[in-house]
Structure 1
C-alpha cells in the first residue's frame, strides 16, 4: 500500500490523536464522569476513527482503482467523487 507509506507521518499523527482520545475515555471512566461526558468522548473517538478509515479508503481508491497512469480504463472522475462521497457519508 504505497499510499500509506507516502502518507505515513500524516496517518501516524492522526492515530496518535486517536490514542489520546481513547485515553480520555479511560480517564473519564476512571474518574466516574457522567454518562453524558463519556458518550461525548466516545462519539468524538468514533468520529476520529471513521475519519481515518475514510482517508485510507479514499487514498486506496485514488491510488489503486483510478490512477490513470496505472489503470487507463479506470472509473471516470465523476464516479470516483461519487464513490468517495458515499464512503465518507457512510463512515460519519
Structure 2
C-alpha cells in the first residue's frame, strides 16, 4: 500500500496507541483487575483496531479502485479488497 507512506507517521502513531492499549490489558490481567475493567479495555482496543482497519480499507478503495489508473489496477484493487473483507469477517 504505497499510498500509506503519505500517512506513515499518523498510522504508526495509531498502531503504537493500540499496542499501548494491549499492554494495558496484559497488565490488568496480570494484576487481577476486575472483569468489567478488562472487558472495557478490550472493547476500547477493538474499537481502535476497527477504526484503523476501516480507515486503511477506505484509503485502499480510494487509491486502488476509485482513482485507479487503469482497469487492470481497478480489478486488482477490488479483488484485494474482497479478499481482505473475507478475512476480516472470519
Task: Find the aligned partners of 2:6 and 2:28 in 1 and give their Cα distance.
Answer: 35
For 1:44, the equivalent position in structure 2 comes to: 44
* Conserved? CA contact 1:65–1:71, under 8 Å: no
Alignment of 1:1-92 (within 5 A): 1-67=1-67, 70-71=69-70
Unmatched runs of 5 consecutive residues or more in structure 1: 75-86
TM norm structure 1: 0.73
Matches of 1:71 and 1:35, distance apart in 2: 52
- Ranked by relative contact order (alpha carbons within 8 Å, sequence separation 6 or more), the top structure is 1
Give, in whole Å, the separation in 2 of the partners of 1:56 and 1:65.
13
Give the unaligned 5+ runs of structure 2.
Answer: 75-84
Q: Of Structure 1 and Structure 2, which has the larger fraction of its residues in helix?
A: 2
Q: Output the TM-score relative to the length of structure 2.
A: 0.74
Counterpart-to-counterpart distance in 2, 1:48 and 1:71: 33
Alpha-carbon displacement from aligned partner over 1:31-72 (angstroms, at most 9, x marks no partner): 10010000000000011001110011000001010016x258
- How many residues matched? 74
